[in-house]
Structure 1
Amino acid sequence: MNRLCIFISSAQKEFAEERRELKAYLHGDPLLRRFFEVFLFEDIPASDRRADSVYLDEVDSCDIYVGLFGQDYGYEDAEGISPTEREFDSATAAGKPRLIFIKGQNDDTRHPKMRELVRKAGKQLIRRRFTDLPELTSALYASLVEHLVRIAVIQEGPFDGSACPRATFEDLSTEKLDEFLARAQSNRGYPLGPGTAMRKALTHLDLLAGKHPSHAAVLLFGKLPQRFLVTSEVKCLHFHGTEVRKPIPSYQIYKGNVFELVDQALDFVMSKIARSVGTREQGPQAPVEYELPREAVGEAIVNAIAHRDYTSNASVQVMLFADRLEVWNPGQLPATLTLASLRVPHASIPHNPLLAGPLFLAGYIEKAGTGTLDMIARCAEAELPTPDFRQDGGQFVQTLWRPVPQQVAGEVIEQVGTKSALSRHQVEILEKCREETALVDLMVIAQRSDRTKFRHQVLSPLIEDGLIEMTIPDKPQSSKQKYRLTEKGRALQSQLAYKKEQV
């Protein structure tokens, strides 16, 4: 279908920021951008036409009218009617769907004519009130999704619970189902076991959409899931440096069901990173330790596959660099979660709840919202920097930091001539200290919490080696004291960065 045009009321200056932000949000959302185009009066070029005729023509040609009503009534024409009211009346006369959002709960402070417009709209349709931009964005999103459901463009309910077009029971693998049921019984005491009929198992797992397999059923047990969901594959890339550069030394595209995708991507990463093998003193099998905790890598990959937006044309990407592992997945954090909340106990809000259930039963994920916390804990136990989480446009990115290769630090230390080998925490400070920095901020960089031990074990040796200096050396205890790299320290910083690029 052609994209629907949304006209966002343009007349009131008080909503200039809201209009821009709403357009950016709608064009950035992986679902809504597939169906909607946004018209803002500010976007049209200069023209030899009256402004009022332009915006009223746009109202007539749009598919949905979004009205933002605030405190002011706005400019009044010769008949004493503002452009906002003209737009609303024009949309009403043309029979357009009208979504009206009113800022604030109290109408007493509004311009009298705006109060009358609010009342007029209230007699004709259901209005929504909002107090800030996030609340407005959330309300508009819900209204637009409801509109798409009403005109039968999308199905109500989560994507993973809707029927997978063209897929039949013949496209599902009984072998893959039996493997899952065996794991689910072993890990979670699931009542159904291998040999259960496919229809019965899918019914028990809520993976049927009417009489048809759902998208989740195909992703979990499909013989060839990518036949129906092309971008459900996982792309794994290995770079020797710290940037994306061609040629790519190792590039694999993995296909299969979600369990196979997790296992293949995890094996790709673990096969590329350093590992050490211990002795058999503690048991018959020699222990193996990897530079990145296997559990943390697995959590990052499972999170990406379980919570990604499967309506997107992008795929999950697992990229291993010399200094970090990045896992990218298409999608946004739920509105009730923030990047900061991922670092503290939080609710589990799966993007694909019917996909997450079987992943939990098979032991791949937990339901308590502990995935990111487990990643942080595993990295802390391995004395690695805290993982980073960020939203990069329509992609959610998880970053695990690799330790600085010993040969890199060793070579550079020898060249610069420090008195002793640098610890991981000292290397962290030399790499990330780009400006004058307070003691507490240096401790954050090094992931240290004990001030006394940090001074003695990390900071003082760097000062003695002439790599870091005080900004107020004659007042060591000054509350305004900060620290910066010396010329020697900056040289070491540059050489560390260069060496890592070559690894």
Structure 2
Amino acid sequence: MSLPVNVEDLIHGKAIEWERLEFKKGWNPEDIVHTVCAFANDLNNWGGGYIIVGVEEENGQPILPPEGVPQSQFDKIQGKVLSLAHQLLPNYFPIIQPYILQGKHILVIWCPAGDNRPYLAPSTQGTKAERHPYIRYGSRSIIAKGDNLKRLQELAARIPFDDRLNGIATVGDFDLGLIQAYLHEVKSDLLEDSRKLSSEDLSRQMYIAKGPDENLRPVNAGVLFFCKNPDQFLSRPWIELVWHKNFSGKDFTEKYFKGPIQDQLRAVLAFIQNNIIQEHVIKNPEKAEATRFYNFPFVALEEALSNAVYHKSYEIGSPIEVQIWPDKIEILSYPGPVPPVNAQILQQQKRIVAREYRNRRIGDFLKELKLTEGRGTGFPAIYRSMDINGSPEPKFETDKDCTYFLTVLPARINNEQEPLANKGSNVALSTIGKAQSKSEGADEGADEGANNETIFYTHDDILGHIINLTFVDGTSNMKTNAKLLLNLMIQEQGKRAPDYAIDTGLSLSTVERYIRKLKRLGFVNFSQQPTNVGGYFITDKLAKQLEK
């Protein structure tokens, strides 16, 4: 039976954080039972993790192609995993699935967060071994001690709301079309199986329902993603948008976005992109390049709204509120950030990594759909995209009791001249002064005041062209992020991939993937010069393009 994830993305760290992956070249029962226990305890509410048997690792990264596991050993290993599950107290049973990766057989052991924490595992495989609670620390499984043990004990009766059973919905309320659309989008092998499985078996396999056969109930995350009308089973899980046409407070449009939360998120972003976001182009006759910017950069908006959908509480029944004003966009969600993040930290730090997550299952689904990345990349991406666009800094607010979270994205206003709005193309044009050059062959008898201007390719035009060449089949979100990365690589040459990941707010795996594509087409290259450390530089091919 297949898992509801794309195994290629999983192994390359594209779907979840590296800390939630453990690679094993071969079968090692002692290490594996400790890791199963640690993932089951899920101290940080990340959603458990995966053990990949048959793939060697180096510094937490997989070494590919994989070593593989002899197919003849699969039944034996699965029996041993079952035996290890009985060693945990209370008993805990992970989900095991064989796969073929690059022509080699591997075994994926999925360990979702357990409902009966804390779990204890034997320290060794001896008959008299002591049992201890194990937790994840970075990419290692260690015995919980001190404050970590106290935190784990406090989680004993606390299951995140998105992973709890919903007392109203039934498995029959899941929409098979939504489930299959998700499996198709994430390229899961479970899609094919979903056409033959019963709704109960499919729900169990996706871990969106729990309980005995006679009382199998959906979990809240499953309701939010795979029911057509989640508001029938949860209180007000929608997004409310108010578009203020001016500052009077009287002229506004109000819209409610309902349905599965992934559809809500996409619909709100599409509405704002089509109706609110506007590009400004300022033409200056003294410069070859026009100045281009947006009133609101889309990357910042996407990250801020995705953050609200990911981290709000769906237990308290307060919708996400989006207020659009001429000079700012406000995104309000409830409650505030999870401790230890507070108002002071929000004001002082531009990169915030939460110690634990409020919605571990929602986060997993959003990451699989490429709607968020986690890993603390959201804030840096917002700050960076606002800075590149020339916008004022974003603001993040909460109160001393962390009862709300407010994101404010100030608009960049065209101070040179009031823009002429072109609502059809979302472009506003402004011309500074008079054009000083005529195009060759211009009619000398043309009406006075008619300007035949020389057409220049702007820096932004060239970047857009390069990105379109490099990412032919890429989504608009991918192209936006790739353009952000390439622009930074042009401005700040000589850095390495981890530096660009931090500066852009993108994950390291995403940055490395984009760089590989740019290298393949000869736009960037890695060089050890001028330092021994080395870094990425643009090639002569790209430099000549930028000179146009």
Q: TM-score range by the shorter chain?
A: 0.3 to 0.5
Which of these two proteins has the greater Rg computed from alpha carbons? 1
Give the number of the structure whose residues are more often helix, by fraction. 1
TM-score scaled by length of structure 2 = 0.42
